[in-house]
Structure 1
């Protein structure tokens, strides 16, 4: 971890990212008027103190979010990210350092909020506001640790940054056992559940956000330290908490899948936990993924250089698609909402130009700085995380795009995830299940995706659920972590999935698409070789190791009694 960065965040954790946004939900204190002692004087100020955790400290995680979550998983090719594609990462990788710094910044910020709610709140602040803000910060803290343990494995548990610094332990803190980290996450979330309301303001974390994340954590930890099967108690807990969300939250799947990933979907009922971004003066408040993922010249307002970022052949095949065919398979609406392929049309992109057609015509009017250039090695580009042109944003109620800035929310936990968590937890260690409630959850996700082509299944297997998860959450930064939790208890199966993937590119696409000439059309195959168990965790960045060499020591047990958990 970046110890010095954490130390600074403890001391100036609000001032460093303060500004006032154009959205009430994301309002935060202004730098020129804010001090900790004079803030926290009413409920509004209290909520402003936690608002930045919905975006700013997460900003430097965005590129690592896609590289780890999707490139390593075999869903995405990312130019310049060969270490992630080939599992040749080392501690000098810049994005690993950014991931680590970002996740520890989130933890430090959350710890600061949790501490100051009680220490600094004025007499007029209500208990409900205090509880809600603390609960929101606890869920974000749990989310940061959930990413940390699945990325790096054993990591230090820093319950209170101020105490760590006061005790002069910043440079000597030790890693804690993975099972302790998972226990810590569950304890934090259970505390958050006690504090959070059932209904919070739009877009904010509520009790059911915490229940949903807790279900996912239990499903993940159920396999750790096991061999071949998963811990039945953890599976039961995952099913229990997921069922609470399904039956009591009052939330429903949004009927139109593609709208979830448009600006109109920023605050949908289906989203349980999301980064909510803004376009403003504060650099770290914005979503920058369109710049990395979309075609060059795709927007008149957002700089884009994502020509060489594209879906893998393997993911296309999972959707039943292939670049060497011109007839598209539209039975699963998630495919077009996830990736653009030749022949696809989009009425929500280029709305001022009559819509967008992905047609591989390099003479297309790109509007912004020149023509579009279709150079994808697999005949497709990303559709998720893309806003498009300024007119597209305005058509959905947002007036501003700028540079690398979009206000498109990044959904981290959706109701469909909870449905599939429940189905998998009920299946448990069985080879299949026909449990009615598990089938209902599974079929609900499929019904939305397949529309008129859907028929309810009467039995499901782990493979059915695993494939459904891949298609449902492709490019949402989650697939790699599915493979990590599978590796916990079935390492050979997890490795076999990766080594079987086609991560290569097509040769001859230009001649095929532009001249209907398939004579040179062939796959330039690329497969992962030499995969080891160690490849299922990310190396600590060298800057962290230089600041704290103790991170290379064997992990130790955490004393839960020292923080009041007995």
Structure 2
């Protein structure tokens, strides 16, 4: 078994005394003294036991989360990465870490479920037991949702302790994809039963489970279909999304860019998120995405090296932007909140220095335009240490911020609802679907909903392509786009392949000369076309890492039907 899985299984089965002191629900057990018999004795300890599931076991998934979700999907340029060219092999470090992380999450969740039932003391309330187990079940479902969309058929490990005791942990056969979706839905059904309608800010509640359920049903609806989707699954996706929309009391954050600021880590819009701490003790509780994505020198810690990558030319085209222009369109506020380009200034980055000016920094500080696409990342960035203090009240550390990573937002649920209602129709004028779709667009264009309805940007009839593009613009660089292609490939493989193959994945030459002089010389400044990726059906499942194949030879064999009714919580 992978050592990281063993680490998290041990952490969850033999959980830990001597609590660290934090001011929010990220309080966690320390990692030095393992004594399961002295833990789970109070409500507080039970919640502290599950708190690490909001960050640490997911830590090694972060880089793969972005590379698969955005680079592979054509939203992001990342140099010579195999995720740019669909040439990922089984020894790829990010793939290895990603797989280990997801199995670690599953092991940790299974350990929590076991310990709450077997070890909790008489003072622990039934409400706490159910809430903590419900949170663990949602994270377990999310881990399997990633696994099935990344690798396809995978084994179902329902109880790590039982598998280890039986000596067959590394002898598991893969379950079929329909089996895995049924297992995810069974897991979420129980989570919905146990979770409260309202939980502490940032914590998973019943509507988090409903939101994930709607997304799973929308994805599942196309599997094994030919050009259409299963209507019953679409209806369920719409029904669960509508429960979130109508019953949760959640609202969109009024200003799009504010979603991704530290002070909104626990906003009403966020239904499921990783919540990180901006320090490295213990290592793995921190967000390190700023290091991979930000321009050189963006923080004072010398820990940012992402300037030579950036949002793709294809994504810029989708926003109606052009790096070979000195003028920004800026009609859609999501563009600036997603990618920084020439002319962009940000008051929320480097607030103590009067803000961050992309062109000034590239041309006058770095002396180069680092990004070959003419754009750099915005989402997932905090800024400098002062920005971190302003947002959370404490400083960050080297390769460590406390910015939450939002995995499911309310706007995502709005778009799931619109797409599920449209279903297999060519178009729809359903009033509720149009309302929620236009609420997403109203915020994007910076207008109150009622005012937006009187503009030419309002949509009066929904089509798949309209929703498909809106999802891209709304969720760009949030680690989700590849999974949209996976589910599209389920029922319309040619559309998925052709769209990916036709993307603009190249870079520009001579941007610095253009931005310095303001004069576009086509002989100096131009787009470098790259060969179209050789993508086919096989690329919609990534290879199992060598480490996994070494541990379990059955991963190379055909999947077997698994009776999901044998499992229960």
Give the TM bin, normalised by the shorter chain: over 0.9
Cross-structure match for 2:394: 399
- Partners of 1:137 and 1:361 lie apart in 2 by 44
216-225 vs 513-522, which deviates more?
Answer: 513-522
2:557 counterpart of 1:553: yes
Displacement of 1:389: 0.7
Partner of 1:193: 192
RMSD of aligned alpha carbons: 1.6
Report the Cα distance in structure 2 between the residues aligned to 1:535 and 1:199, rounded to whole angstroms: 40
In structure 2, C-alpha distance between the alignment counterparts of 1:110 and 1:184, rounded to whole Å? 15
Q: 1:102 to 1:21 in 2, by over 3 A?
A: farther
Matches within 5 A, 1:285-434: 285-301=285-301, 303-359=303-359, 362=362, 364-365=364-365, 371=366, 373-434=368-429
Whether contact under 8 Å (2:112, 2:136) holds in the other structure is yes
Specify the alignment match of 1:271 in structure 2.
270
- Within a 5 Å distance, the mapping from 1:138-537 to structure 2 comes to 138-280=137-279, 281-301=281-301, 303-359=303-359, 362=362, 364-365=364-365, 371=366, 373-452=368-447, 454=455, 455-519=457-521, 520-537=524-541
What secondary structure is seen at the aligned counterpart in 2 of 1:411?
A: strand
Please tell me whether the aligned partners of residues 21 and 278 of structure 1 are also in contact (alpha carbons under 8 angstroms): no
Whole-angstrom CA distance in 1 between matches of 2:335 and 2:400: 26
Quick one: distance in 2 between partners of 1:372 and 1:476?
29
The alpha-carbon deviation at position 14 of structure 1 amounts to 6.2
Partner SS, residue 310 of structure 2: strand
What SS does the corresponding residue of 1:31 show, helix, strand or coil?
Answer: strand
Shift of 1:562: 2.4
Segments of structure 2 that go 5 or more residues without pairing to the other structure are none
- Cα deviations by residue, 1:143-173 (Å, 9 ceiling, x for unpaired): 0000000000000011101111111112211
2:212 & 2:228 partners in 1: Cα distance? 22
Question: Partners in 1 of 2:22 and 2:297 — Cα distance?
Answer: 27
**Which residue is 1:368 aligned to?**
none
Say yes or no: does 1:542 pair with 2:546: yes
- Does residue 37 of structure 1 match 2:32? no
Task: Work out the CA distance in 2 between the residues paired with 1:302 and 1:407.
Answer: 17
Taking structure 1 as reference, are residues 535 and 342 closer, same or farther at Cα in structure 2, changes over 3 Å only?
A: same
TM-score relative to the length of structure 2: 0.95
| Equivalent-residue separation in structure 2 for 1:302 and 1:134 (angstroms) | 40
Q: Separation in 2 of the partners of 1:103 and 1:17?
A: 22
C-alpha distance in 1 between matches for 2:499 and 2:16:
41
Is the CA contact (8 Å cut-off) linking 2:15 and 2:34 kept in structure 1? no
The count of aligned residue pairs is 558
CA distance in 2, matches of 1:32, 1:509: 52
**Distance in 2 between residues matched to 1:539 and 1:21, nearest whole Å:** 41
CA distance in 2, matches of 1:131, 1:151: 30
Partners of 1:297 and 1:213 in 2: how far apart? 37
Q: CA separation of 1:56/1:361 partners in 2, compared to 1, >3 Å: closer, same or farther?
A: closer
Unaligned runs of 5+ in 1: 366-370
Query: For residues 45 and 368 of structure 2, what CA distance do their matches in structure 1 show?
Result: 48
Cα distance between partner residues in 2 of 1:306 and 1:335: 19
Aligned partners of 1:28 and 1:51 also within 8 Å: yes
Question: 3-state SS of the aligned residue for 2:359?
Answer: coil
Q: What is residue 24 of structure 2 aligned with on the other side?
A: 24
Distance in 2 of aligned mates of 1:509 and 1:491: 36
Where 2:527 maps in the other structure, the secondary structure is: strand
Q: What whole-Å deviation, never above 9, does each CA across 1:468-507 have from its counterpart, x for those lacking one?
A: 0000000100000000000000000000110110000011
Q: Distance in 2 between matches of 1:15 and 1:404?
A: 29
**Contact 2:269 / 2:409 at 8 angstroms: preserved in 1?**
yes
2:125 maps to 126
SS at match of 1:274: strand
